[in-house]
């Protein structure tokens, strides 16, 4: 690599300077300027990588990017003091004197442009990229960040931080994902800054000249994405950094957690109460009190004298068990994990080779160096302790890493895959690599089942190995709404499987707050309630009969929707798109979706528009984007691109179905592993356009779906023709449904919901339908439906002219 001229003045800004020479390579160019070396690589038609360093060798992040450049056709030319790199979707202009970049569309519209004076610059070791602000530019994404959907005029820091009871505007939090999406002039682009040091993204705070992103040290290494939609940009980002794998089906059910449930008798009583009260649930968590003096890979012999038998009893009731794993290893001689880690040189150390100790729950602890392959393998092997007890999933907490005092010394050393770096470079990926170790441990200990790992901390690429939750939130209306934005922002940043602590971890939830939170979380990827020690009981039945009934109804709705939710998870594994999707994905240039009154609204499973609202409000404004929308609970049809007023008493969350959608439901079950009645209910909401629902099934637990043991089938509805079409099935899994029923909804309300959520035990089935006699012929009978569903070939069901 050509050597740049070094200038060591760190007291003022040092810009990259003029290009001295450049050379072509098979997938781009490289060269040097007066102050640095640069390399530009074409990854795909819509993706370009930019690397700049003042060192002779680039220092890449080995953890986030898993995709290599594709071989594509593109052109390189030089004219009028510029180098041009042209793909079918991006024209990149590299100005030579001085060096700065302009990304354009093939028609010549500017997508994104460096500030020509500063472009890429240094202040000491800090490296920054300054970008011109385009007219009316918006910025969305950036992962787990508080604040508004549009991040313009604010600055954010990426530095994974343990933040108990954080404020709804506080930053930074637990997870860092340095990827954002810019929007202006009908265009969209994405930038992923692939540098694991502490970084800052300033979207115009305190100045009106530029936006910038910077890192304390390391290279300027970023990927630029451009396509004709936000959805395609997210898909390209997740193609680069990876997509989630299919989770176990049980992880989509309701999950109950508390800091902490103990002793074992309390855990068993908890499970029994869910079943006795007919409240569907799948998972019970064991927090830190399950351990002996908070030491990982132990059970407390007094509180849990026979954990294997307890877990067996829980499984007999249909529950899975998830245990917490903190990284801190108590530095007690005779404690096997510490003795082994010390002997095998697996702990983070000071530069003089002494083991670093930080104080956490067990006391003074050593910290495994998860950036070292040997450590990850050792941790995976240690998880045999939990496997022998029958544990099903793992919750990696305190993995920022956290320690009392919140000020980890920067000089401690990490392997970083053999590079040997300081805490400054390794901190942001520590939680990611611990979660990776847990996933690999799941696969090692139980290879015939899919792993489930829930992590608090992470970095870009975390979606490949774990689900995420938004940490120690607070029982307040503001936090409930902020959690929605956090999950939506994570979805914009490639993390599709995430959630928040329903009811709030810190503080005491009110009755109305808990009821509303349960209704909203029904439509979240992760459905988990959690509460703190020394607080009142916070189970769904702990707030009185009304809240219990509302919670039960929404929990049952969640379980009836599992065919739709599971199919959406499969779709996300293919596209990388979120399950809870900010309206900014599908309606990116509609100014109303960014208004404070509507920024919390989102699409769940593509078809359901959720309008979250505080528990104390009984009427609210809802913005309906372009199209037509049915109110879920009475099927009233609304025209889109307008604001409506909606009644929202505590038992009715404003939820709308997009016209043209097909929603799939199953019968009630108490847990995901319980057999349903075998009838798939397809609810068809007529619209102007034809629509398609992709139905997906597999065994819900094994990795065999990767070997073709799945069922995938497209179901299409044409409203104008009254025709429902079933495409050929793919895969070799036999469906668990033997027949289906079709319910057709249009503006005449052919079939309508009965009044739901009545505070009455007399409701036999959560979804009962009024079928007016003249329309009953529109309901596909089990006999004809069974034939259609059993057939693996193309099948068409069509109403007669009289039925239409």
Residues in Cβ contact with 66 at an 8 Å cutoff, skipping those fewer than 6 apart:
240, 241, 242, 461, 464
pLDDT of residue 77: 98
pLDDT of residue 753: 29
CA distance 625 to 633: 19
Rounded to an integer, what is the distance from CA 165 to the centroid of its chain?
Answer: 21
pLDDT of residue 9: 58
Spell 581-590 as b/e; 16+ CB within 10 A means b.
Answer: bbbbbbbbbb
Q: Write out pLDDT tens, residues 569-585.
A: 999 999 999 999 999 99
Whether 618 contacts 500, CB under 8 Å: no
pLDDT of residue 722: 80
Share of the chain above pLDDT 70, in %: 92
pLDDT of residue 11: 81
Report the SS3 class of residue 761. Answer: coil
Q: Write out pLDDT tens, residues 122-145.
A: 999 999 999 999 999 999 999 999
pLDDT of residue 789: 56
Whether 506 contacts 534, CB under 8 Å: no
Instruction: Please choose, from the candidates 218, 150, 450, 495, the residue with its C-alpha nearest in 3D space to the C-alpha of residue 320.
Output: 450
CA distance 444 to 433: 16
Average pLDDT of span 226-242: 98
CA distances from 77 to 23, 29, 107 (A): 11, 11, 17
pLDDT of residue 721: 82
Q: What is the DSSP string of 50-110?
A: EEEESSSS----SSS---PPP----EEEEETTEEEEE-SS-EEEEETTTTEEEEE-TTS-E
pLDDT of residue 724: 87
**Torsion angle defined by CA atoms of residues 260, 262, 267 and 273, in that order, rounded to the nearest 10 degrees:** -80
Instruction: Please choose, from the candidates 584, 593, 601, the residue with its C-alpha nearest in 3D space to the C-alpha of residue 188.
Output: 584
pLDDT of residue 429: 98
Exposure of 239 in the CB half-sphere (CA atoms within 13 A): 16
pLDDT of residue 762: 23
pLDDT of residue 220: 98
Tell me the pLDDT of the chain averaged across its residues. Answer: 92
pLDDT band at 752 (very low <50, low <70, confident <90, very high): very low
DSSP at 688 = S
Where does 704-780 show beta strands of DSSP type E? Answer: 711-718, 723-726, 739-745, 752-753, 769-770
Residues classed as catalytic: 397, 400, 472
pLDDT of residue 717: 87
- Higher pLDDT: 382 or 724? It is 382
Residues in Cβ contact with 57 at an 8 Å cutoff, skipping those fewer than 6 apart:
1
Average pLDDT of span 261-279: 98
CA distances from 767 to 350, 422, 523, 560, 674 (A): 61, 57, 17, 9, 19
At what angle are helices 264-276 and 307-316 packed, to 10 degrees?
0
DSSP at 349 = B
CA distance 63 to 79: 38
pLDDT band at 790 (very low <50, low <70, confident <90, very high): low
- Higher pLDDT: 688 or 76? It is 76
Average pLDDT of span 733-751: 75
pLDDT of residue 796: 61
Q: Structure pTM?
A: 0.94
pLDDT of residue 757: 27
Sign of CA dihedral 554, 560, 562, 567: negative
| pLDDT surpassing 60 at residue 5 | no
| DSSP H helical ranges for 561-635 | 562-575, 583-586
CA distance 470 to 493: 14
Sign of CA dihedral 670, 675, 678, 681: positive
Instruction: Please choose, from the candidates 68, 144, 214, the residue with its C-alpha nearest in 3D space to the C-alpha of residue 431.
Output: 144
Q: Write out pLDDT tens, residues 524-567.
A: 999 999 999 999 999 999 999 999 999 999 999 999 999 999 99
Whether 719 contacts 746, CB under 8 Å: yes
Share of the chain above pLDDT 90, in %: 89
Report the SS3 class of residue 603. Answer: strand
């Amino acid at each position: 690599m050509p050597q740049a001229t070094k200038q060591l003045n760190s007291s003022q800004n040092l810009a990259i300077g003029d290009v001295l020479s450049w050379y072509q390579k098979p997938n781009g160019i490289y060269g040097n300027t007066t102050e640095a070396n640069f390399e530009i690589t074409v990854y795909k038609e819509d993706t370009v990588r930019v690397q700049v360093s003042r060192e002779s060798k680039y220092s890449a992040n080995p953890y986030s990017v898993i995709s290599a450049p594709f071989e594509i056709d593109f052109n390189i030319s030089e004219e009028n003091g510029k180098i041009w790199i042209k793909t079918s979707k991006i024209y990149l202009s590299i100005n030579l004197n001085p060096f700065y970049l302009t990304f354009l569309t093939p028609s010549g519209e500017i997508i994104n442009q460096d500030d020509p004076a500063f472009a890429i610059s240094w202040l000491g070791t800090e490296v920054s990229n300054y970008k011109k602000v385009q007219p009316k530019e918006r910025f969305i994404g950036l992962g787990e960040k508080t604040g508004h959907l549009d991040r313009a005029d604010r600055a954010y820091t990426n530095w994974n931080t343990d933040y108990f009871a954080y404020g709804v505007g506080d930053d930074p939090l637990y997870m860092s994902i340095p990827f954002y999406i810019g929007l202006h002039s009908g265009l969209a682009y994405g930038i992923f800054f692939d540098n694991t040091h502490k970084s800052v993204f300033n979207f115009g705070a305190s100045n009106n000249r530029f936006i910038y992103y910077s890192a304390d040290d390391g290279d300027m290494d970023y990927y630029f994405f451009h396509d004709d939609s936000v959805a395609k940009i997210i898909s390209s980002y997740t193609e680069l950094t990876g997509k989630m794998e299919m989770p176990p089906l049980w992880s989509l059910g309701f999950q109950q957690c508390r800091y902490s449930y103990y002793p074992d008798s309390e855990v068993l009583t908890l499970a029994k109460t869910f079943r006795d009260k007919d409240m569907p649930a799948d998972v019970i968590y064991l927090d830190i009190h399950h351990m002996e003096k908070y030491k990982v890979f132990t059970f407390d012999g007094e509180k849990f004298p026979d954990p294997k038998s307890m877990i067996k009893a829980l499984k007999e009731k249909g529950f899975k068990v998830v245990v917490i794993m903190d990284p801190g290893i108590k530095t007690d001689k005779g404690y096997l994990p510490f003795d082994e880690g010390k002997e095998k040189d697996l702990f983070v150390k000071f530069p003089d080779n002494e083991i670093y100790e930080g104080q956490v729950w067990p006391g003074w602890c050593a910290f495994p160096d998860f950036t070292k392959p040997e450590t990850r393998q050792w941790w995976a092997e240690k998880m045999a302790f939990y496997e022998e007890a029958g544990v099903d999933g793992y919750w990696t907490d305190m993995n920022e890493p956290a320690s009392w005092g919140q000020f980890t010394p920067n000089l401690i050393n990490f392997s970083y895959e053999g590079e040997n770096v300081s805490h400054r470079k390794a901190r942001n990926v520590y939680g990611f690599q611990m979660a990776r170790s847990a996933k690999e441990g799941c696969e090692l200990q139980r290879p015939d089942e899919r792993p489930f790992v829930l992590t608090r901390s992470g970095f870009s690429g975390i979606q490949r190995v774990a689900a995420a939750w938004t940490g120690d939130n607070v029982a307040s209306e503001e936090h409930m709404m902020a959690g929605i934005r956090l999950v939506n922002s994570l979805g914009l940043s490639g993390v599709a499987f995430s959630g928040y602590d329903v009811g709030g971890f810190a503080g005491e939830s009110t009755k109305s707050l808990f009821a509303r939170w349960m209704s909203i979380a029904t439509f979240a990827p992760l459905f988990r309630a959690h509460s703190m020690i020394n607080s009142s009981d916070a189970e769904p039945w702990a707030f009185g009969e009304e809240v219990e009934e509302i919670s039960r109804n929404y929990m049952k709705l969640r379980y009836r929707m599992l065919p739709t939710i599971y199919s959406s998870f499969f779709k996300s594994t293919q596209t990388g798109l979120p399950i809870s999707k900010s309206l900014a994905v599908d309606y990116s240039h509609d100014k109303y979706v960014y208004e404070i009154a509507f920024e919390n609204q989102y699409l769940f499973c593509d078809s359901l528009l959720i309008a979250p609202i505080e528990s104390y409000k009984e009427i609210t404004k809802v913005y309906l984007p372009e199209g037509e929308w049915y109110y879920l609970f009475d099927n009233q049809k609304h025209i889109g691109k307008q604001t409506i007023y909606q009644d929202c008493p505590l038992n009715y969350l404003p939820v709308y179905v997009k016209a043209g959608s097909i929603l799939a439901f199953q019968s009630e079950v108490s847990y995901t592993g319980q057999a349903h009645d075998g009838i798939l209910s397809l609810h068809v909401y007529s619209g102007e356009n034809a629509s398609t629902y992709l139905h997906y099934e597999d065994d819900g637990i094994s990795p065999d779906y990767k070997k073709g043991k799945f069922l995938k089938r497209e179901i299409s509805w044409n409203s104008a023709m009254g025709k429902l079409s079933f495409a050929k099935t793919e895969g070799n899994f036999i469906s668990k449904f033997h027949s289906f029923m079709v319910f057709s909804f249009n503006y005449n309300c052919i079939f309508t919901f009965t009044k739901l959520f009545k505070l009455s035990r007399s409701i036999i089935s959560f979804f009962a339908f009024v079928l007016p006699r003249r329309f009953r012929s529109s309901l596909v009978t089990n006999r004809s439906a069974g034939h259609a569903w059993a057939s693996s070939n193309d099948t068409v069901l069509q109403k007669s002219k009289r039925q239409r």
